[in-house]
């Protein structure tokens, strides 16, 4: 079956499943037993029951109690006495259960020491008591074993990729929801001397655009310009002609200017030519997962010149730009909470942040005093609010925005979350990148404007339930 252009797997689930597949192999012991993996994926099962009475019905639900009993029955060697521990030391377990981040806390009644040799089994305890925290516990497990670089995809730039390109090889951007590589390509092209409209020619494919795109390619091949064909998945009828042009470029007998580059963008699609996919360099700019990763992506793409673009109010601009980046990360991350985040799943992307940053710079440069109401209206009601169609979502958006576009942001002690873990900075690009790198995961529900109790459950349980199907695929690969 020919390959189909598709999105790459998310970093954390792929790393977790690949790593646990290795630990489940006989050559590793196995460190993870089949019963342990089965319990993580399937839980106690729908048919599981128990005759033991629930000792603490005030905080242990019936399904949770069945899972606790079944956990000891399924793995008696590892969890011997676990049920009796919960019965006898209910207040200690309840205190651990009610913490905001139980996966970061020590298990009660010496169970942390008992499971020290089998850290995977702590994930099973998390699954039983607080399944919505399982995704964060899995991230901590992988980071502790392999390093944090396996849970957070490293930011990359076109400067790192461009040396591997050639005039005969197309560069393919695999698009994903919430990520737009156009601005990144334009910035890189201008840095290389290819100004958009002069030496960088961009065209969005669609009805009747095929002949124009072919004409641009024919001209650029002679002059050494760059051509970017956007949204190739929308021009299915012209894909055969694109395949022919790429095949023609790959022939050594054809005359191609050494500085010519062909950039293509496409959503995952079956109509994308297999030959182009096989011969091209595939790149993906999927939206980062988590507030920290989102802010890190923003500042990785930011240049020192862009941060110093507002000469009249440099300190205020830096702080407000960071606040705007945090706000952008929050509105994107709220989508993972389903209808608890937004009634409608809006496709906010980097173009909204770029436009809002330009608005911020313009207002601060032209106005003697910072026009807070105007900033709030343009950013909230127009730049981001232009995508919002639900009245309650618009009200929520403006409420979240007021936490970031406010005069209090200019105070050095202003915090974005009640815990004080996220603060606003007015430093340079390198300093901000270093500070963002040591932040927590940025997963505090209060940072998203959510409650600590219900917020992560929608995201965590969904990811946990998806392990079974994805895990089978990785197992087949192994």
Of 118-122, 131-135, 173-177, 227-231, the least confident? 173-177
Look at residues 284, 302, 328 and tell me which one is the last residue of a structural domain.
284
Q: Are residues 421 and 328 in the same domain?
A: yes
Is the CB of residue 293 less than 8 Å from the CB of residue 328?
no
Q: Are residues 127 and 187 in the same domain?
A: no
Tell me phi and psi for residue 218, to 5 degrees: -60, -40
Number of structural domains found in the chain: 3
Q: Are residues 133 and 165 in the same domain?
A: no
Question: What CATH number has the domain bearing residue 363?
Answer: 1.10.8.720
Q: Are residues 326 and 428 in the same domain?
A: yes
What share of the chain has pLDDT > 70, as a percent?
Answer: 83
Q: Is 315 part of any domain? A: yes
Q: Is 71 part of any domain? A: yes
Q: Is 476 part of any domain? A: no
pLDDT in tens, 20-78: 999 999 888 889 999 999 999 988 876 678 888 999 999 999 999 999 999 999 999 99
Q: Are residues 173 and 42 in the same domain?
A: no
Would the pLDDT of 477 be above 90? no
Mean pLDDT across the stretch 206-221?
91
Q: Are residues 295 and 437 in the same domain?
A: yes
Question: What CATH number has the domain bearing residue 168?
Answer: 3.40.50.300
Is the CB of residue 320 less than 8 Å from the CB of residue 405?
yes
Q: Are residues 254 and 188 in the same domain?
A: yes
Q: Is 1 part of any domain? A: no
Q: Is 232 part of any domain? A: yes
Q: Are residues 302 and 252 in the same domain?
A: no
Q: Are residues 322 and 411 in the same domain?
A: yes
Task: Name the residue among 11, 7, 16 with its Cα closest to residue 474.
Answer: 16
Place of tokens 């459950």: 457
Would the pLDDT of 152 be above 90? no
The 171-174 sheet, strands edge to edge: 200-204, 226-230, 261-266, 171-174, 281-284
Look at residues 132, 150, 168 and tell me which one is the last residue of a structural domain.
150
| Rounded-to-10 torsion of CA 265, 271, 273, 277 | 50
pLDDT at residue 434, rounded to an integer: 58
Q: Are residues 81 and 164 in the same domain?
A: no
Mean pLDDT across the stretch 230-253?
90
Q: Are residues 298 and 364 in the same domain?
A: yes
Place of tokens 């409209």: 197
- Peptide bond connecting 30 to the previous residue in cis, omega within 30 degrees of 0: yes
Would the pLDDT of 442 be above 50? no
Q: Is 204 part of any domain? A: yes
- Look up the domain containing 321 and give its range: 291-442
pLDDT at residue 447, rounded to an integer: 53
Look at residues 150, 171, 200 and tell me which one is the last residue of a structural domain.
150
What share of the chain has pLDDT > 90, as a percent?
Answer: 47
pLDDT at residue 4, rounded to an integer: 45
Task: Name the residue among 262, 202, 200, 264 with its Cα closest to residue 233.
Answer: 264
Q: Is 2 part of any domain? A: no
- How high is the mean pLDDT of the chain? 83
Q: Are residues 425 and 305 in the same domain?
A: yes
């Amino acid at each position: 079956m020919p390959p189909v252009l598709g999105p790459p797997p998310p970093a954390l689930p792929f790393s977790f499943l690949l790593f646990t597949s290795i630990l489940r192999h006989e050559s590793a012991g196995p460190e993870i037993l089949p019963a342990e993996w089965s319990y993580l994926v399937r839980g106690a099962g729908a048919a599981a029951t128990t005759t033991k009475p629930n000792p603490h019905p005030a905080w242990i639900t019936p399904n949770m109690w069945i899972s606790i009993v079944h956990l000891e029955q399924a793995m008696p060697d590892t969890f011997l006495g676990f049920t009796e521990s919960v019965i006898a030391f209910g207040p200690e377990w309840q205190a651990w259960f009610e913490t905001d981040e139980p996966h970061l806390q020590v298990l009660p009644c010496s169970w942390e020491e008992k499971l020290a040799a089998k850290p995977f089994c702590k994930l099973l305890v998390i699954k039983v008591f607080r399944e919505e925290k399982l995704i964060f516990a899995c991230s901590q497990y992988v980071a502790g074993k392999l390093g944090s670089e396996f849970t957070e995809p490293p930011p990359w730039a076109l400067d790192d990729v461009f040396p591997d390109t050639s005039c005969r090889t197309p560069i393919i951007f695999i698009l994903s929801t919430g990520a737009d590589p156009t601005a990144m390509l334009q910035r890189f092209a201008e840095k290389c001397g290819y100004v958009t409209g002069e030496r960088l020619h961009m065209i969005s494919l669609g009805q009747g655009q095929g002949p124009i795109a072919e004409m641009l390619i024919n001209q650029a091949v002679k002059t050494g310009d760059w051509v970017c064909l956007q949204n190739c998945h929308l021009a299915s009828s012209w894909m055969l002609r694109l395949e022919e042009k790429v095949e023609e470029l790959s022939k050594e007998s054809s005359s191609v200017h050494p500085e010519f580059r062909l950039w293509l963008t496409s959503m995952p699609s079956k109509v994308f030519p297999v030959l182009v996919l096989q011969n091209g360099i595939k790149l993906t700019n999927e939206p980062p997962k988590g507030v920290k990763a989102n802010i890190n992506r923003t500042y990785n793409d930011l240049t020192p010149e862009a941060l110093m673009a507002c000469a009249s109010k440099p300190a205020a601009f830096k702080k407000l730009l960071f606040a705007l980046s945090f706000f952008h990360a929050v509105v994107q991350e709220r989508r993972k909470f389903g209808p608890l985040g937004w009634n409608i799943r809006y496709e906010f992307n980097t173009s909204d942040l770029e436009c809002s940053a330009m608005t911020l710079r313009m207002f601060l440069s032209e106005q003697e005093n910072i026009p807070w109401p105007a900033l709030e209206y343009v950013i909230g009601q127009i730049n981001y609010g232009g995508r919002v169609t639900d009245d309650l979502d618009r009200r929520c958006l403006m409420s979240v925005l007021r936490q970031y576009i406010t005069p209090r942001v200019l105070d050095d002690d202003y915090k974005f979350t009640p815990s004080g873990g996220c603060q606003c900075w007015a430093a340079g690009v390198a300093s901000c990148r270093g500070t963002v790198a040591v932040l927590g995961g940025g997963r505090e529900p209060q940072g998203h404007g959510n409650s600590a109790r219900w917020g992560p459950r929608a995201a965590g349980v969904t990811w946990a339930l998806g392990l079974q199907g994805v895990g089978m695929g990785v197992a087949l690969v192994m």
